[in-house]
Structure 1
């Protein structure tokens, strides 16, 4: 079987890479001896089974991707190794406060406390109202479309993020039928519990069945 290699980047998840390279999470985990598919380490080399061509081949790197890190994550919040970031409850910028306020206004103007199934629309509307530009994509695409000169991925748990206003949360998948296809995205309010999108979710920390968490901070 031919094998190619890929250097894992901050923000990658094993399920997303499996889809990208037309293989399965279990095959990647088995091929790279990864015990926990939710934890992969940015900078490590991932071997892609069954591919004759290499995608971003790594020369001189260490083979295998089994060292836990956390470019994936669960609803409890996986950390992203090497992503950096200075967001914290005690370090809130005016841009973050502005986005949190715009997010709450968008949620109240759409579904209130009831989901409309339009989470990415709510987040995009909040970003546009706060900063003047629109971000396209559904819940598990919007993270790739956030302009990197205006947002950066940060290293923190979901619990920490919920205490910090104005962060963009994205999950690759949720437990609902639509969420398993389109994922979910929201903006933190900073109260330690809730987040907003097309509605106000009172207990984001208690929402189960979510995976592939990424967290982004505005740097405008």
Structure 2
């Protein structure tokens, strides 16, 4: 049995994948009644491990500004998969460009409440694939032969162009129902959907972040 100190943005599902255990085992070992709600700073006991873990920089669970939410749909969360500011693939840059174009063609710098439409339009323009669903559904509908879920913090993801971000919930009324989705531009701050959000890091009240990298 080992201990891990929960970091801001960690999710139980991502930690389970990282430590090669299951969400149910972590929840049972730590008496967690709601697997979608864990708290930064708390110590998490990892079943079957002999050493204590402190999070290494740039690793840990799938992170969001709210730090809650599970991984639904996307299968096993992988490491960063080679994604990073200095090694974005042509496919990732293509999606980032398509995302900017879609955002400017829809809301510019003002949200239209159609984030999934903007992201879906960008993916279709970049790869010829139509993806359905709202902000917290689109992650389940991303074609797995073209996208893989990766284990990155929001800060890391925003430095890398062409990643798809999804949040299960945001602080707005509609966002609490439909979530939010966007594509990273790679400038470390902004993301695009139906509009250009200048400061995604500063957008509070979001939870359940997942990050997907194009593999086409």
Give me the TM-score of the superposition, normalised by structure 1.
Answer: 0.71
How big is each residue's C-alpha offset from its partner over 1:87-110, in whole Å with a ceiling of 9 and x where there is no partner? 100111000000000000000000
The match for 1:39 is: 11
Counterpart contact for 1:77–1:158, Cα < 8 Å: no
Superposition map of 1:1-220 within 5 A = 39-40=11-12, 41-42=16-17, 43-47=20-24, 64=28, 66=30, 67=44, 70-71=61-62, 73-75=63-65, 82-84=77-79, 85-220=81-216
| Rg larger in structure | 1
5+ long unaligned stretches in structure 1:
1-33, 48-60
Give me the TM-score of the superposition, normalised by structure 2.
Answer: 0.72
5+ long unaligned stretches in structure 2:
1-5, 31-43, 46-59
Q: What CA distance in whole angstroms lies between the structure 1 residues aligned with 2:203 and 2:27?
A: 36
Q: What CA distance in whole angstroms lies between the structure 1 residues aligned with 2:192 and 2:115?
A: 8
Aligned length: 172
Q: Say which SS state the counterpart of residue 217 (structure 1) adopts.
A: strand
Aligned Cα root-mean-square deviation (Å): 2.7
Counterpart contact for 2:158–2:186, Cα < 8 Å: yes
TM-superposed CA distance for 1:156, in Å, is: 1.1
Q: What CA distance in whole angstroms lies between the structure 2 residues aligned with 1:134 and 1:156?
A: 25
Q: What CA distance in whole angstroms lies between the structure 2 residues aligned with 1:212 and 1:63?
A: 17
The match for 2:36 is: none
Change (3 A) 1:75 1:170: same
Q: What CA distance in whole angstroms lies between the structure 1 residues aligned with 2:66 and 2:85?
A: 17
Q: Say which SS state the counterpart of residue 166 (structure 2) adopts.
A: strand
